[in-house]
Amino acid sequence: MPKSQSLARFALGATTAFGLAILVAGAACGSVSSSGSPSSSKSDTSSDSDSGCGDVKSDPSNCGYCGHVCPDGAGCVGGVCQDSCSSGLTFCAGECVDIQTDNNNCGSCSSACDQTATCVQGTCVCHQGSTNCDGSCIDLKGDPRNCGACGLVCDMGYGCSAGRCVSPCAQDQMYCSGSCISVQSDDSNCGACKQACPGTSHCVSGTCSCGSGFTLCGSTCIDVTSDDQNCGACGTTCSAQDSCSAGKCRSRCPSGQSYCQGICINTEKNNWNCGDCGTVCSGGTSCHGGSCTCPSNQTLCSGACSNLKTDHFNCGSCGNACTKYGYSCQLGVCVWTGG
């Protein structure tokens, strides 16, 4: 056979094999047009059971037929990729919606209304009986976090009724630190939570007070009828010479005596308390009429009693000393005695 005929037969065989390969591929994914492109017959937009690759009417990865991917931002509607909707509708998450009335896309895509609200003209409107508080519809009559008004929070443990915070406790109790407390009698919460009664006082009818015959002074219950520091009333102090008796400061000692070192003393003649407690007579003096004085024939010189008629150092007067040799004091005068 001539060489030219052999080449012609080889080319014909190759062409036939290529054609068969195309027909087999078309049978695997639907019919193929004469141009080699998938046909747009009804089978391309069939349901899940017909296509074998999902719902080609709404799947943007297989829109209209298997493997047909819609561009970014577009959705598949009726087997056709589209990113624009008819007048009055907006394309949101692959579907056309009316953002004026759609509760899941109210005013804009993905802007969902609360379950207690309805989308009206693109705005979430709360149902009757509730109020919009920071984007949530709240019943202000019963929400303890928004009781009577948005943001008005009831104290811990309190409930909200008819728009008012109400205590969970009985009428004569208050909710203190997680418990209902009788503030009329509780020493740690007297009249109000965390208002403790001081010292030895007790809570009586919501007020910290002492027992009968005592008065609360600062944090201590005091008998003001006998307390020297609170005599008759809190803060009224008796002097050291007085004591509190029947609510009044009275002298501790009989008339003419003073209270010194715990005893009553006549300061008119006591050498250790002369004229006043603690004034001691010294230098030969003694207490007379409340003053430290020397005997009748002596004079007080520099803290000591001296006889000015005979005292060599106080001769005739205090401080006049007989300093010359052989002189001495005679009758208040320094005279020569001849040593």
The predicted-structure confidence for 183-226, as pLDDT tens digits, reads as follows: 999 999 999 999 999 888 889 999 988 888 899 888 889 999 99
Confidence band of 72 (pLDDT split at 50, 70, 90): low
Q: Is residue 7 scored above 80 in pLDDT?
A: no
d(CA 314, CA 283): 15
pLDDT tens, 102-119?
999 999 999 988 788 899
123 CA to centre of own chain: 39
Judge whether 207 and 218 are in contact, CB under 8 Å: no
pLDDT tens, 166-178?
888 888 888 888 8
Burial of 84 from C-beta contacts in 10 A (0-12 / 13-18 / 19+): exposed
Looking at residue 286, its pLDDT comes to 93
Report, as an integer, the average pLDDT of 126-154: 90
Confidence band of 43 (pLDDT split at 50, 70, 90): very low
pLDDT tens, 82-95?
766 778 888 887 78
Looking at residue 288, its pLDDT comes to 92
Looking at residue 218, its pLDDT comes to 86
Q: Is residue 49 scored above 70 in pLDDT?
A: no
Q: Which residues pair with 304 in a beta bridge?
A: 301
Say how many C-beta atoms besides its own lie within 10 A of residue 33's C-beta: 11
Looking at residue 172, its pLDDT comes to 81
d(CA 125, CA 93): 23
Give residues with Cβ within 8 angstroms of 60, minimum separation 6: 69, 70, 74, 75, 76, 81, 94
Helix, strand or coil for residue 31?
coil
Looking at residue 26, its pLDDT comes to 38
Looking at residue 40, its pLDDT comes to 40
Most confident of 47-56, 76-85, 114-123: 114-123
Q: Is residue 99 scored above 90 in pLDDT?
A: yes
Tokens of 319: 């401080």
Range with lowest mean pLDDT among 37-46, 53-62, 71-80, 305-314: 37-46
Angle made by CA atoms 31, 37, 41, in degrees to the nearest 5? 45
Higher per-residue pLDDT: 35 or 105: 105
Higher per-residue pLDDT: 74 or 9: 74
Tokens 């089978």 belong to residue: 43
Higher per-residue pLDDT: 53 or 270: 270
Looking at residue 30, its pLDDT comes to 39
Report, as an integer, the average pLDDT of 223-234: 94
Start-to-end CA distance of the chain, whole Å, equals 190
* Average per-residue pLDDT for the chain: 81
Confidence band of 339 (pLDDT split at 50, 70, 90): low
Judge whether 113 and 121 are in contact, CB under 8 Å: no
Nearest C-alpha neighbor of 267 from the set 248, 250, 284, 254: 254
Looking at residue 39, its pLDDT comes to 39
Looking at residue 164, its pLDDT comes to 92
Against a cut of 0.85, is the pTM above it? no
Range with lowest mean pLDDT among 22-31, 142-151, 265-274, 276-285: 22-31
Higher per-residue pLDDT: 40 or 207: 207
